[in-house]
Amino acid sequence: MPKVKKRRLGFVLDMTPLVDITFLLLTFFMLTAKFKSEAESQQRFTIVRPQATADTSRLPDKDLAIIKIGIDTLVGDTSYYYEMTNETDWAQVVGSMEQLQQSLGGQRVRQVKVNLQELDELIRRTRIVRPTTRFAIDADRRVRYKWVEDLMDVLRQNRATIFNFVTDRRPPEQPPM
């Protein structure tokens, strides 16, 4: 009996390497984690992005204006949504549009639901505030192409002729239909 007790007490597991690795992984995941932006947490739709072959080009983070075409999960109607990553630019653009501000009712939002005319106005003002702003079209793959075509016309009218389509990476084993 006393022998067994002694052995139990003396049992020591060296946790140092375990803790080392754990902290290493923890640091890695904490630094790579990207949290949902304020605009994203406000939206009432999820975008099913079209799939494309793996590419190295990534969405830029800075000075980006994203035009989303989403299908509302509750009502099921399609609409344009506009958001910008640069907060000060966003405040300037939205602040200069009285009509839009009235419809928002003074609420602080990061994403607005817009129609084509408002979108045209927003894009024009964005180009004035910062001409180097990049545009990205983040559309649901199920929407009719008409929505994208109209949007591209608006972009063209505002001389924003270079933009990006946001896509998801297609798994390599899955060929296109």
Partner 1 sequence: MGVADFGGEAKRERRGGKRRRKKMRRLRYRLDMTPLVDIAFLLLTFFMLTTTLVTPQVMEMTIPPERTQVEVRQSELLTLRIRSDGKVFYNLGTDAPQAIALKDLESLAVRENVRLKNRLITVLKPSPNVPYGRVIAVLDVLNRAEVQISEQLAREGLKRERRFALAPMTEQDEQEIAGL
- In the complex, the residues that contact partner 1 under the rule CB under 8 A are 12, 15-16, 18-19, 22-23, 25-26, 29-30, 32-34, 49-59, 69, 136, 138-149, 152, 155-156, 159, 161-169, 175-177
Residue closer to partner 1 by CB (options 129, 160) is: 160
Q: What is the CA radius of gyration of the chain?
A: 24
The residue among 93 and 151 lying less far from partner 1, judged by its C-beta, is 151
Helix (H/G/I), strand (E/B), else coil: 81: strand
Cα-Cα-Cα-Cα dihedral of 136, 139, 144, 149, to 10°? 0
**Least gap, CB of 94 to partner 1 (angstroms):** 25
Look up tokens 């990049």; give the residue.
Answer: 134
The distance of closest approach from Cβ of residue 68 to partner 1 in the complex, given in angstroms and rounded to an integer, is 12
Residue nearer to partner 1 on the CB measure, 59 or 128: 59
29 HSE (CA, 13 A, CB side) = 6
